[in-house]
């Protein structure tokens, strides 16, 4: 997946330009981000009002030292 994106505070939105699944091309992906110490947390999907879906996912990335 790839495309153009905007980041405003903790709100990340990507306009999907290419994806292995053609159904995603032309869609917008919204994620809420949090950086705390050495950990990045991404929660998604969020709707147009930045509310997380009832079924949402969390990904955590911890910096390797």
Domain positions in the chain:
2-62
What is the three-class DSSP state of 3? strand
Evaluate whether the domain defined by 2-62 bears CATH number 3.30.460.80.
Answer: no
Pair 24, 42: CB distance under 8 Å:
no
Which two three-digit tokens encode residue 17?
């330009």
What pTM did the predictor assign?
Answer: 0.85
pLDDT of residue 51: 97
- pLDDT above 90 (res 1): no
Q: Please state, as a whole number, how many other Cβ atoms lie within 10 Å of the Cβ of residue 31.
A: 22
- pLDDT above 90 (res 65): no
Per-residue pLDDT tens over the stretch 30-64: 999 999 999 999 999 999 999 999 999 999 999 99
């Amino acid at each position: 997946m790839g495309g153009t994106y905007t980041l405003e505070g903790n709100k990340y939105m990507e306009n999907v330009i290419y994806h292995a699944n053609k159904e995603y091309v032309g869609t917008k992906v919204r994620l809420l981000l949090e950086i705390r110490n050495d950990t990045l947390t991404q929660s998604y999907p969020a709707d147009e009002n930045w509310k997380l879906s009832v079924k949402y996912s969390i990904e955590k990335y911890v910096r390797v030292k």
